[in-house]
Amino acid sequence: MRTNKRLTFGICGTYLEHYSAVKLFLSADGNGGRESDSILPRSPLRVKPKSVSICFKNNRLLAQRRRVFSCTAIYNPQFQIKEEGQPETLDYRVFFLDNSGKKISPWHDIPLHLGDGMFNFIVEIPKESSAKMEVATDELYTPIKQDTKKGKLRYYPYNINWNYGLLPQTWEDPSSANAEVEGAFGDNDPVDVVEIGENRAKIGQVLKVKPLAALAMIDEGELDWKIVAISLDDPKAPLVNDVDDVEKHFPGTLTAIRDWFRDYKIPDGKPANKFGLGNKPANKDYALKVITETNESWAKLVKRSIPGGELSLV
């Protein structure tokens, strides 16, 4: 029977007023352990992360200071991904598993909010690729798969130039008309994200992002929001906090995103998509409003306050 126990508490930074929450590491043996909710700095860190290691020995309390982790690894999602089948086949699926190996839904079980205006973003389509990957909202545990049409795999006519995916725990309600966007109804899917950072992500990767703008795309009469965001790990992330910053530090990107989504169906003989809100990107506050409203719609969906039709709620 072990008589000596060590509890390790890790606190990133030294001034708690800079944080909206505290990250707590607990370990029974000093070799790492469970993590609590993440911390999110309100201002840039100016000190190296440290921790206080608290040891109990013979009912005496001993304390010492030592470094235990870096602030770049604050959020460690408790899941794994598992591929089934071969990529670019009809059977290919990317499932999400918890630490016990049980399947979970990336749409329903991964949290949306990280606090302080930051969110989890699930990558479906890595930048510079064309396979139309998406969460299968009508399949058990909603794995990521390649979309099909008439039994054939779907591809964009050209590569998408940004990481593309969804915000978990959001839903665009097809029974709700948006008076601000030509009365268009939701497209029955989670909210889409266009992540503009420099790194190419992987299918199933979860990134911490901050929203910067919103585009109100209208696809065959359905409202299909595109939230423009940036990964917190991107070198330019501290420089961009709203729509005007995007134009300053990523000149031409917002126009390129709008034009890409406007035109990508034209090679298939379909008309160009339209955009509401004056054909312009809305600012960060509006993007946060969209996220809040669609998160509320998702909550009603999973509580079955709104009919889900063929959607999987597991």
Long-range contacts, stretch 16-21, CB < 8 angstroms, 24+ apart: 17/42, 18/42, 18/43, 18/45, 20/115, 20/116, 21/115
Q: Residue 249 to residues 82, 131, 196, 219, 233: CA-CA distances in angstroms?
A: 36, 29, 11, 29, 16
Question: How far is 123 from 192, CA to CA, in rounded Å?
Answer: 10
Structure tokens at 13: 């930074």
Could you tell me the maximum CA-CA distance found in the chain, to the nearest angstrom? Answer: 78
Please classify residue 277 by burial: count the beta carbons closer than 10 Å to its beta carbon, then call 0-12 exposed, 13-18 middle and 19+ buried: middle
Number of CB atoms found within 10 A of residue 220's CB:
11
| Residue tagged active-site, from 156, 164, 264, 286 | 156
CB proximity list for 269: less than 8 A, separation 6 or greater: none
DSSP β-bridge partners for residue 218? 223, 274
Clarify whether 15 is annotated catalytic. Answer: no
DSSP three-state, residue 270: coil
Burial class (CB in 10 A: 0-12, 13-18, 19+), 96: buried
Q: Looking at the annotation, which residues are catalytic?
A: 156
